[in-house]
Copies of this chain bind each other. A is one copy, B any other.
Amino acid sequence: MATPLTVSPLARPLPDLATVEGVRLSAVAAGIRYAGRTDLMLAEFVPGTIAAGVYTKNLCPGAPIDWCRQALKTPTARALLVNAGNANVFTGRAGRQTVEDCAEALAAHLSCPKDEIFLASTGVIGEVLPPERIINALPAAQQGLSADHWEQAARAIMTTDTFPKAARRDITIDGTPVRIQGIAKGSGMVAPDMATMLAYVMTDASLPQDVLQTLLSRFSQKSFNAITVDSDTSTSDMLMAFATQQAQHSKITDADAPALSEFRTALQEVLQELALLVVRDGEGATKQIRIDVTGATSDISAHKVALSVANSPLVKTAIAGEDANWGRVVMAVGKSGEPADRDTLAVGVGGVWIAKEGSVVPNYDETPVVAHMKGQEIDITVDLGLGSGSATVWTCDLTHGYIDINGSYRS
């Protein structure tokens, strides 16, 4: 049982949530691990809905990840079933059987092929997840389906999360109103690599699968793949998008079609907003940290330098202590292994350049930096002075809260 957690000081209230045509959701208490809370989320899609997904690159993925990768070969989706409390990871043949049994049971309820069912599990690793509790809860889950149950759904997938996470954008495609709305969970074991903890975005747009997949993959790079809480890439990371095809706009065949201009921006914003909510609920987080790296030899190199800073325990503990310890930023840049030259390196905090060309700037006045460090949103800028590569990564500070949560999560 997880220790009761106080709500993150960086929590954001849910946005004003609306319905997405073709999507109904429900949340029930299946008693998988937690007492007195919902832990099973069902999303049902209108027939003809197509899915796109990106999954963890961790080489020891959970059984549901394997299932989804396989199911995505048939891009139509009728349902998404997510449980919290048990990740069904490293559970061998029993884990594969659980996934198979749950998918079959839900497919029978919805009268659809089982490869139209997408599954996810999040929680403790290495314990067998018995299918019965989930299967027994399916009738109640089906009965509870409603187009309005977005908040309930966002809450049911939480583990060490301290607040539910959602984002919404209303835009148009060729003049036709279209909505994008998503939910996410994630707090620890967050260093997504090509995917995220769990995030689901639904839209009523009428898009072919390859267009949705292309845009999802593209925008995951600068959203979920640009955040880290603790450098630990989960075995269950999953980002999926579902398009119900209900909006009556012109036919789209190309991810870069001009008609999708608003859609692209909105999808990118929704993914970034959800990713930042995960950072803001990082285990023990008291500050959100943004790291901008410029002047790198390439964008990829800039991304690696930014991650090296974002994952440095010394940088993160200094920020927790409200100390603008830029020397640790220099250390983290240098240890990244990426091209860097001490004598062209500049480091700034809160918009103030502290160090340039290998040493502290003359007459450096710490006052505005000290004030910035007391805030909740900390900006670190690194200019490598070598080229035009750039990247931005978001993380949170490392505090006693992280130790509290993870020294006792399982027991």
Q: Footprint of B on A, CB under 8 Å?
A: 57-61, 87, 89-95, 124-128, 188-189, 191, 193, 230-235, 311-314, 317-318, 320-321, 323, 325-328, 330-337, 339-343, 345, 355, 357-360, 398-400, 402-403, 406-411
Contacts and interface: CB of A to CB of B under 8 A. Distances in A.
Contacts of A343: 92
Contact of A402 (B91, B95, B234, B317): B317
A408 B319 CA distance: 10
Nearest to A404: B400
Given A188-B314, A342-B60, A92 B359 contact: yes
A193 B337 CA distance: 10
Contacts of A355: 90, 126
A304 to B, nearest CB: 12
Residue from A57, A60, A188, A341 whose CB has the most chain B CB atoms within 10 Å: A60
B58 A334 contact: yes
A94 B58 contact: no
A61 B334 contact: yes
20 contacts: A57-B337, A58-B331, A58-B335, A59-B340, A59-B342, A90-B360, A92-B358, A125-B327, A126-B359, A126-B360, A128-B360, A189-B328, A232-B313, A232-B314, A232-B335, A233-B331, A313-B402, A317-B403, A318-B410, A321-B408
Given A313-B232, A321-B406, A411-B323, A331 B125 contact: yes
A332 B232 contact: yes
Contacts of A313: 230-232, 313, 398, 402, 406
A61 B126 CA distance: 42
Could you say how many copies of this chain the assembly holds?
2
A61 B340 CA distance: 11
Nearest to A315: B232
A235 B327 CA distance: 10
Nearest to A336: B59
A359 B91 contact: yes
A132 to B, nearest CB: 19
Contact of A126 (B233, B327, B408): B327
A333 B232 CA distance: 10
For the complex of A and B, list the 10 residue pairs with the smallest distance between their C-beta atoms, beginning with the closest. A125-B327, A92-B359, A321-B407, A60-B334, A317-B406, A233-B335, A126-B327, A58-B334, A92-B358, A59-B334
A61 B327 CA distance: 11
Given A191-B335, A321-B408, 20 more contacts: A59-B340, A60-B333, A60-B342, A90-B360, A92-B357, A93-B359, A126-B327, A126-B330, A128-B359, A231-B231, A232-B313, A234-B331, A235-B331, A235-B334, A313-B398, A317-B407, A320-B407, A321-B407, A323-B411, A402-B403
A231 B398 CA distance: 14
A91 B359 CA distance: 5
A3 B343 CA distance: 32
Contacts of A332: 232
A351 to B, nearest CB: 19
A328 B407 contact: no
Contact of A89 (B127, B323, B327): B327
Given A320-B407, A335-B193, A330 B90 contact: yes
Contacts of A128: 359-360
A330 B235 contact: yes
B125 A330 contact: yes
Contacts of A90: 327, 330, 342, 355, 358-360
Given A189-B331, A191-B335, A60 B345 contact: yes
A168 B12 CA distance: 58
A306 to B, nearest CB: 15
A341 B326 CA distance: 40
